[in-house]
Amino acid sequence: MDEKGTLYLPPPSSTIAGEVDALFYFIFYASLVLFAIVTMATVYFIVRYRRRGEKQLTSGVAHNTKLEILWTVVPTILVFIVFVWGFRTYLKMHVVPKDALEIKATGQKWFWTFDYPNGANSINDLVVPVGKPVKLLLSSQDVIHSFFVPDFRVKMDVLPNRYTLTWFEATETGEYEIFCTEYCGKGHSEMLGNVRVMSEVDYNDWLEKSAVDIPEGMSLEEAGAKLYVSKACVTCHSVDGVPGVAPSFKGRYGEQQRMADGGMVLLDENYLRESILNPQARVVEGYQPVMPTYQGVLKDRQIDALIAYIKSLQE
Ligand code: CUA
């Protein structure tokens, strides 16, 4: 499909998108026509029956049965069409096909984690096969987020302490943006991701490779540098020494550091590991305890790799 986007909507890239768009345009154009009729009639009456001198122009009519039936029946029919059409599309969007591939999606301040059936996971990078229904089981670790892929016309609230469901079937390979559409704090506008739609073969390839902790032939340091980006550390921690939401990684390893509780801590391997798995245990002075835990997200070897990378950032 190479349908173009319009002024209002990006190109439709899922099986449901066309239906959503059709309903949108029906409501849009019906509103436009009604708006034009009402506005033109208003202008006409203003001009036609404006006050001219003292002469009474209107006849004092207070009732017209035909007219009242017309303006009751026509809008009722319109509302009925929109209701039935909307409800049918709504059902389609909410009843997940039986053969759907299930992926667990977790929102937290301020990134998305995706867990695949074979144990692989990815951050801010949802990889799916083309032409296959994908069911997303959504939940949040902290506040309310909202998962939105405009090209698919898919949007679902993501709540702590309960699951929500949505599904889609991508019709074309390519990359599509994911937005968080529920204001969730300071990093809300940076809570971005991509859906990468691949052929079935590429998807299976990717899955297999991603289940591996550290790719073969890659040093821990290199793997750590990749994880730093792919696991979204980069959102808050710089590597050039400039502090952001969180301390920079550069030049910190091996230093003594004052903590929020006033104590001094040596920034060694154990501190880094603890801060990845249990970030609120000891927070550096001057920073908010906003880091999410990576417990269950990173495997041991990946934590080793990140620590190796941080250690390599000392001048
Ligand atoms: Cu998450 Cu806004």
Q: For residue range 163-221, what is the model confidence (pLDDT) as tens digits?
A: 999 999 999 999 999 999 999 998 899 899 999 999 999 999 888 887 766 766 777 78
143 pLDDT exceeds 90?
yes
Q: List C-alpha distances in Å: 176 to 49, 134, 173.
A: 56, 15, 9
Tallying the residues shown for the chain, one arrives at: 315
Residue pair 207/116 in contact by the 8 Å Cβ criterion: yes
CA-to-CA distance for 99 and 134, rounded, in angstroms? 9
Residue 145, ligand 1, Cβ within 6 A: yes
Confidence band for 40, pLDDT divided at 50, 70 and 90? very high
Q: Six-digit token pair at 163?
A: 């699951």
Confidence band for 160, pLDDT divided at 50, 70 and 90? very high
2 pLDDT exceeds 60?
no
Atom of ligand 1 nearest to the CA of 181: 2
Q: Please provide the average confidence, as pLDDT, over all residues in the chain.
A: 88
Percent residues over pLDDT 90 in the chain? 46
pLDDT tens, residue by residue, 63-91: 889 989 998 999 999 999 999 999 999 99
∠ CA 167-168-172, rounded to 5°? 160
CA-to-CA distance for 218 and 214, rounded, in angstroms? 7
Confidence band for 5, pLDDT divided at 50, 70 and 90? low
Those residues whose C-beta lies under 8 Å from the C-beta of residue 290, and which sit 6 or more positions away, are: 109, 185, 186, 236, 245, 246
Residue 138, ligand 1, Cβ within 6 A: no
Residue 142, ligand 1, Cβ within 6 A: no
Percent residues over pLDDT 70 in the chain? 95
Q: What is the pLDDT of residue 302?
A: 84
Put simply, whether the predicted model's pTM sits higher than 0.75 gets the answer no
What is the DSSP secondary-structure string of 115-130? E-TTS-EEESEEEEET
Distance 187 CA to ligand 1 centre (A): 7
Strands 164-168 and 134-140: antiparallel
Residue 191, ligand 1, Cβ within 6 A: yes
